[in-house]
Amino acid sequence: MGWKEVFLCALVVSVVVSENPIWRKLEGDLEPEAEAEVAPFQEVDESYRLPTVTVPTHYNLHLRTAIHRNDRTFQGTVEIFLDVLQATDKITILNRNLVIRRVTLYRDGAEPELLETPPFDTDPRTEHLTITSSQELTVGSYMIKVEFDGRLQDNNNMGFFRSSYLDNDGNRRYLASSKFEPTHARSAFPCYDEPRLKATFTLSITHGKDYHAVANMPQEGELEPDQDDADFVTTHFQKSTRMSTYLLAFAVSDFAIRTSGYQTVYARSNVFEETEYPLQAGVDILNALSAYTRVEYTDHMPKMTQIAIPDRGTGAMENWGLVAYGEPVLLFNPSVNTYRNKKTVDTIIAHEYAHQWFGNLVSPDWWDYIWLNEGFATVYEYLAAQLAYPEKRYMDLWNVEVIHNAFAADARESIRPMTWNAASPNEIAALFDTIAYSKAGSVLNMFRVVFQDDNWRAGLLEYFNQRLLDAAVADHLYDGLQLAIQGKDVYPTGFTVKQLMDSWTTAPGFPLLTVKRDYKNGQIYISQERFLSDRQLPNSHVFHIPYNFATQSSADFDNLHFDWLSSKAAKISTEAAENEWVIFNKQQTGYYRVNYDPQNWELLIDALMTDPSVIHVQNRAQLINDAYNLARADRLDMSLPLTLMKYLAQETAYPPWAAANTVLTYFNNKLRGTEHYPAFLNYVHSMLDTVYATVTVDTVQDGETMLDKYLRQSITTWACRIGTEDCLTRTEAALKQAVQSNTPVHPDVSSVVYCYGLHNSGEAEFVWLYNRLHTSKNQAERSLLIDSLGCSQNKEYLKAYLMSAFGTNNLLSTERTRIVSAVYSTSRAGVDAMIEFLMDETIVDEFISSLGVGTLNNAIANIAARTNNAGEQQQLEDLLGKLGSRVSANTAAAARATVASNFYWFNTLEGLIVGEFLEGFVEA
């Protein structure tokens, strides 16, 4: 029997023996998301907000679950102690899909006084659970007891939800855990589910005796045997710190536990060895944050637990004292996980631990200030990781990973500002986007640098002390910072912190600083306008822009003193000679783009071609990113960034190559399959050859830094992608050697070796990688292997691989859809295999049944995006014809429109300029 027959036979067997729950991405997970465009202003329906006549003070919450039996039902009782602030006959809390069995009302006191068993009603739209008393409740303290039933959520990782994993014997084990941000606590127990309505919590959970429960607070006393069922016990927890409902957290599982002092990590026992690194990283990072903030973590929370939830994707949640993660972003196995995995573990732990101060210690008054949580956590995701591990230089990645990411989203006319109101659960969930994370982080870090870090820390301490265990709005932050910088020469005379920061937080978008020089007298005219990616529009808004600049004769990029542009334009004097370059926004600490007059651009290009080191590495990355995006917005000729990037032949630092990767990927996608593609490959070769000779494709050298590894992966990926013979030969040999010795290659070269080693390899190598995928218990490694297998150039292997995404084997649902995207996203061979695969009507029906019509629609959209010539267009048309009504008319029309846009690009000014530029790289 041939390989394909064996492969498919194994598939049939796997369908019978196991099942797998479906996972979908949580809102708020730290991954790139598709953002919906929003209107410039938003009126919200305030009826979703709770009345302000009552507030909670304490919850006694008891839950009972039989998750160890895979029983999805749970039961609960909650006693909510509350204060009536204004006489009323109604108490309104929140409830989502819980069955309320009984409500009892008491007057609180030394001995609660039973008042009545009042009627209640839940509005399904607002989710308000309204309890109506038969008499007016005067100002004072009361308690309501609510008895309820619920059902563990499945397939969405929200609220109180079920997960599962396979143990070493192939048995499926179940667990239940919580994720309440932003509005899901109400689906686990009736409550005041708004962030400013903080209270304390006393929690107890009844669960199977062979399982254990964990929560925000340490266990209180011994396990209590259940009086009615010997198979159950109750875990009691200490009374919590005062906190918002969205931060309450708990889990019931059979996990193993690793401990260091007051920190622990919980994970399934068959990945226990992978918890050693995250535990130590947690200790190091929490210590660094305590020292930096000068607010000791243990002053407010007695323990810290990290828990790795299987089948949760790559999200994480900062619950106070119980941080929950998807396995790929917490667990680390040095034998299979890469330097990028370790970076992810460090920075995600730092992000979630930063929330213990920014969000937990002080919470946003309402979700319109979610940037007070996520913006700060993004800053310290990098800065706290660097404080813990300075040798890794995490802040060197800040600009290319955060600022440039924010620019891409924030350059749309319809984008929202940082402070943005929302009321309904869907509106609130939509706030967890690139603006809340990357833009807010970029703006906050800009002010941290401008105000100077010592002053910034002093201002944060004021903020913490003033709002400790309470809620905050932006003005509270501004007040703390104002106290810290008063009298310091770090902000413009006549303005306040509020005025400066509000110009960035309450307005959408970001500025473009245009620099025009008078070369005869040294004067420079600077002006600002809002930068938009696709148009220029008048805008009266004025950002308070902190700016600085370096000149060729004064190339001091480390002196970060700032002046301010607080008007639309200004004139400044310099000593720069006519033949000197100037560059604004040193180290790109400011959140704005910069454009120059043509002569200054030419001076900068000449400097880069002569000696790139005279310009700071972050500014080299900035010049590439700004020039390219200015050209895309028709503010520069596209030949300028393409000419500027020729200096990369001398570049050996990672950040500029990271910026260039965006540009090269864009043109690779536009030009592949066209007459211009060979010239484009020559263009890339001309930049790569020198630096490629300085890196190794298949080995890791002693003493390599993290940034060295980033550079190697970027350079070798491009070298192999454009067909460099040495790169393809070395990766093929390394993969064959790994197969022969049955030993994986070094993790830090695995992505390139596995992907490009498959290009010219055969059945043995493909099967070896496939078997590693199905035996690996490490989700991060599994993702790498899934992507690598999609790199094969053998269409028969790829079609068999696509078949493996069906059925109920040991793949997660996200892994199934990842297989599909891995096949069509890596090369044209994969696209062709995808088309041939979907031309089989029987397979298509199974495809839709197993993976959903959404996966098919995504595949069609991506095939269209990769269609660049008439032959490929005909393939797509044949496929659409074969699929018929399985694809909606809208999906087919959108695919054809994408192809038309791809073809039309060559007749645009940008396309014509690029084609003309590449003529200089056509081989004679």
Annotated binding site: 351, 355, 374
Q: Which helix (H) or strand (E) holds 668?
A: helix 654-671
The residues, ordered by sequence, that sit 6+ positions from 870 with a Cβ below 8 Å of its Cβ are: none
Q: Which helix (H) or strand (E) holds 109?
A: none
CB crowding 496-511: b at 16 or more within 10 Å, else e:
ebbebbbbbbebbbbb
The residues, ordered by sequence, that sit 6+ positions from 310 with a Cβ below 8 Å of its Cβ are: 163, 164, 165, 175, 268, 327, 779
The residue among 10, 4, 11, 1 whose CA lies nearest residue 833 is 4
Tell me if 765 sits within 8 A of 794, measured CB to CB: no
Q: Which of 352, 381, 580, 781 is catalytic?
A: 352
The residues, ordered by sequence, that sit 6+ positions from 110 with a Cβ below 8 Å of its Cβ are: none
The rounded Cα 798 to chain-centroid distance in angstroms is 29
Q: What's at 413, amino acid-wise? A: E
Report phi then psi at 107, rounded to 5: -90, 130
- Which residues partner with 780 through β-bridges? none
Q: How far is CA 671 from CA 99, 665, 666, 918, in A?
A: 58, 10, 9, 11
Structure tokens at 812: 């997660």
CA-CA distance, 443 to 431, in Å (whole number)?
A: 17
Give the pairing of strands 140-151 and 99-107.
antiparallel
Q: How far is CA 158 from CA 304, 351, 499, in A?
A: 22, 20, 38
Q: Does 352 participate in catalysis according to the annotation?
A: yes
Structure tokens at 483: 């106290």
Structure tokens at 857: 């629609």
The residue among 796, 788, 811 whose CA lies nearest residue 763 is 796
Helices and strands, counts by H and E, the chain: 30, 30
Judge residue 652's burial from the number of C-beta atoms within 10 Å of its C-beta, 0-12 exposed, 13-18 middle, 19 or more buried: middle
Question: What is the CB neighbour count within 10 angstroms for residue 75?
Answer: 16
Q: Which helix (H) or strand (E) holds 134?
A: strand 128-137
CA-CA distance, 645 to 608, in Å (whole number)?
A: 9
Annotated binding site for Zn(2+): 351, 355, 374
Structure tokens at 174: 């179940």
Report phi then psi at 78, rounded to 5: -130, 130
CA-CA distance, 398 to 592, in Å (whole number)?
A: 15
Q: What's at 587, amino acid-wise? A: Q
CA-CA distance, 540 to 170, in Å (whole number)?
A: 64
CA-CA distance, 795 to 799, in Å (whole number)?
A: 6
Q: What's at 286, amino acid-wise? A: L
Question: What is the CB neighbour count within 10 angstroms for residue 151?
Answer: 16
Question: What is the CB neighbour count within 10 angstroms for residue 859?
Answer: 25
Give the CA count within 13 Å in the CB-facing half-sphere of 297.
Answer: 24
The rounded Cα 578 to chain-centroid distance in angstroms is 45
The residues, ordered by sequence, that sit 6+ positions from 904 with a Cβ below 8 Å of its Cβ are: none
The rounded Cα 42 to chain-centroid distance in angstroms is 25
Q: How far is CA 103 from CA 41, 73, 88, 167, 201, in A?
A: 41, 20, 17, 42, 19
Give the CA count within 13 Å in the CB-facing half-sphere of 793.
Answer: 10
Alpha helices in 698-746 (DSSP H): 706-721, 725-741
Catalytic site positions: 352
